[in-house]
A and B are shown apart, each in its own frame.
Chain A
Amino acid sequence: MNEEKKYQKDFFEDRIENIKAEDIRKALYVFHRKLSNQSAAYLNSCLHCGLCADSCHYYLSTGEIPSIPAYKLSLIEKIFKKHFTLLGKRAPGWVKAKDLTKDLLPEWIDSLFGRCTLCGRCSLNCSVGLNIAYLIRAARGALASVGLVPPGLQSTINTAILKGNSMALPREDWIETVEWLAEELRAEVNDPQAEIPLDRKGARLLYTVNPREPMFFPLSIVAVAKIFYAAGESWTLSSEDYDVTNYGFHSGDDNVAALISGRLVRSMEKLGTQDLVLAECGHGFNSNRWEAPEWLAKKYGFDVKSIIQIVADYIQKGRLKLDPSRNPEPVTLQDPCHLVRLGGIVEEQRYILKRAVARFIEMNPNREKNFCCGGGGGQLAMPRFAKRRLEAGKIKADQIKETEAKVVASPCHNCIDQLLELNKHFDLRVKIKTVAEIVADALVI
């Protein structure tokens, strides 16, 4: 462990150790404020039947009881019962009700941050249908209010707030990268007029990217640019607010999440674009498509779409010509939880891949019933839980092996990062690609 990480870890342990009573009261107050009738109904409904256990990749891969979704929920239930139910107030031992105290905090942090990717698979398999991820996120928000977000995740959030994007990419570097990528595009499509527009007012689409793309995988931006070029689309990037990610979503801090997503809204308004198009990013889609309007208490005057919807639409309307033989290797698909189960984009990626590759193989289970890869919920930004994250990825690794595919397509950069690690850890010997990269390879221009 390097010195900085050690310092962060010690600092965090110290913070937990020395938490003040007033901080705990504040966390409780925030938790109470976050409760709506929905959460109260959920917290009154768990049957403790345990049927959710086998739906969680954490429990399936380790068999540890604290990874059972009902157990994680029970940590939140304790507090709710203690404050809001008759038996919890009068006979707390009868219903395991407990006040939020210092000794409960380490378990809250370990279970709610370290054993959950907010993937929502447990909700589908719950006898009642409780939205456990929603409650865990609310509890994370209570911890966030008193500075108890694990350091890696918190520093990613701080970077996004202070630097404008989660990778601290300076504006000049971003502009320079886009210019360089435009040259790549021109070479690729053999057209000196081809361009990657930046800050073009009145374009039809504003495209956002995951900052890891310009930092580490810039060619995925070229792939999307190539698709837009082939479709003859009117689009633009923004030189300032372009980050599709929102780690405030993972920390449960709605104010921070609103601030980050609000930047994209500002970009839309500034450039006067018609639709906001989100890069291949699961939580970015869920955040900006579904949650941000709630955080900002605002009905958007524009549509928020995933690039996957846009590409599927191009293919359906004949705006793209694809040659699947250019992708001869068997391809399987990783369904990102926040795009599919929680986002409602289920068939589009299949529609695309079936037309862009020679052989498409489904994982089992798939679509909304898919397993989380283990990289969601901010896990990739929390090194303290890295070992557990890799272990939990075993389920996904087994699914991939079973398909015997040579390429795994994933419309989510977070999933891709986790899959790259699983590829090494479980020796899967597959290539990991975004859907746009696969489409770009199949394009006939």
Chain B
Amino acid sequence: MLSILRWGVIASFLICIISLIIMVLKTLSFGRKPVYAKSQGKGIRGILYAFGKGMMPWEKESTRRHILTYTGGTLYHGGIFAAFFCLFSLVMSFELSIPLKFLCSILIGLGFLSGVGLLVKRILLIPLRKISCVDDFAANLAVDVFLALALLNIFYPGLETFFYGASIILFLYIPAGKVRHCVFFFYARILFGLFYGRRGVLPRKIRFET
């Protein structure tokens, strides 16, 4: 049974990757608009900004104002990466050291709490609820269950079956729902960097020292 589930995880992972690749190719098929206006800054500098300084909480008013949500989101994603690492070790059958297990359990635990917190926020805040669709709740829930089972599996290895099951569901849901942002985030962020970098806005191109 476990062996079948393990292969199920690998298969669903491959389906997920292939689907995401197809989605990116489909997105690219919408065509690229050539750029004619003379550049004022370097696109690459904008991209570096977008993935570096631009991600820092002090750079954005929205994150400064909602530092708890920003922290929650960061912890959530940290927990997800740790849970994927645990899944990887399980599928590849290598034992994690005790300190690594401890670290993963902390990250996954904090990630789970953050995920639940963000879900509760989405349910309770009217403006947030109004801009949400079922997919937003489902995606959050699918990831929370995945995190919960990853955490439980560290302490109760007998729950492997459930962890594998949740992983298969998550992998299959990723390309279909909003979790596809695991790829499109990087795509959109590169575009953000290129746009502001070319225009010399971010990072700011100083031609006149004030």
Contact = CB atoms under 8 A, between A and B. Distances in A.
Interface residues of A, number: 70
B61 A50 contact: no
Interface in B19-76: 23, 26-38, 40-41, 50, 54, 60-63, 65-66, 69, 73
Given A42-B191, A294-B37, A316-B208, A369 B61 contact: yes
A240 to B, nearest CB: 24
Interface in B185-210: 185, 187-189, 191-193, 195, 199-202, 204-210
B49 to A, nearest CB: 10
A8 interface: no
Interface string A45-67: 10111111111000000000100
Interface residues of B, number: 64
A290 interface: yes
A12 interface: no
A343 B184 contact: no
A233 B127 CA distance: 55
B40 A48 contact: no
B37 to A, nearest CB: 4
- Central interface residue in A39, A49, A95, A341, by most chain B CB within 10 Å: A49
Nearest to A122: B62
Contact of A130 (B178, B188, B210): B188
Contacts of B65: 54
B178 A47 contact: yes
A162 B64 CA distance: 48
A368 B210 contact: no
Contact of A94 (B23, B127, B134): B134
Contacts of B38: 293, 299-300, 303-304
A37 B192 contact: no
A52 B66 CA distance: 11
Nearest to A47: B181
Contacts of A41: 27, 184, 187-188, 191
A134 to B, nearest CB: 8
A104 to B, nearest CB: 16
Given A54-B66, A124-B61, 19 more contacts: A36-B31, A38-B191, A42-B191, A44-B27, A45-B181, A49-B69, A50-B131, A54-B65, A96-B133, A124-B60, A131-B195, A291-B37, A293-B38, A294-B37, A316-B208, A343-B201, A346-B204, A365-B61, A367-B204
18 contacts: A36-B33, A38-B191, A40-B26, A41-B187, A44-B27, A45-B185, A48-B131, A51-B69, A54-B61, A65-B126, A71-B131, A87-B135, A124-B61, A125-B60, A130-B192, A297-B34, A348-B207, A351-B209
